[in-house]
Amino acid sequence: MRGLAPLRRQYPTLKWIPSQNLHITLMFVGECGDDEAYSLRERFLRIDHAAHPFSITWKGIGTFPSGGPPRVLHLPVQEGSDEVRRLHGVINHTLWKEKRGGRFFPHITVARVKGKSGERQIKREMLCKLGASIQGGSVVDRIILYRSQLRQNGACYSNFGSLSLGRQDDLEEK
């Protein structure tokens, strides 16, 4: 990921997401039991995913929340954000039949701020300066449903099903 190195050096105490785990969260379900998880998976695998793969780009660095102490550093999706929003809407409708959650903002989380000391160390002006050179892009060609199960040593994530965009015959089950 071009441009993140200066930020990692400036803010080493943040919980940085490993590059291989970077992704766009289209929907976060939260805690649910096995029956609900399998029901959601069944509905997920029936999503109309006839959309074709598309490209996204990101530029700069953003924070959540936008006001007050930052808790999350993210890469805002620039090109392709309309397609990402459409996928979010399709998933939301297929899984719930009604709008769930607040406003959706396409982004890639790159770091989380832990504790009050972490919040105090982040200066938005420095973030903007260091983050100005961050840019990149990727092709979105699949949607993966991850299951998160809490363990004593943290969450364990597993691929619970995936859909390849534009290919009806390529359903995976794990």
Q: How far apart are CA 70 and CA 60, in angstroms?
A: 15
Q: Please, are residues 34 and 117 in contact by the beta-carbon 8 Å criterion? A: no
Polymer length of the chain? 174
Give long-range contacts, CB 8 A cutoff, 24+ apart: 12-20.
13/114, 13/117, 13/118, 13/121, 14/73, 14/111, 14/112, 14/113, 14/114, 14/118, 15/111, 15/112, 15/113, 15/114, 16/110, 16/111, 17/109, 17/110, 17/111, 17/112
Euclidean distance between the first and final Cα of the chain, in Å? 29
- Report the catalytic residues: 23, 107
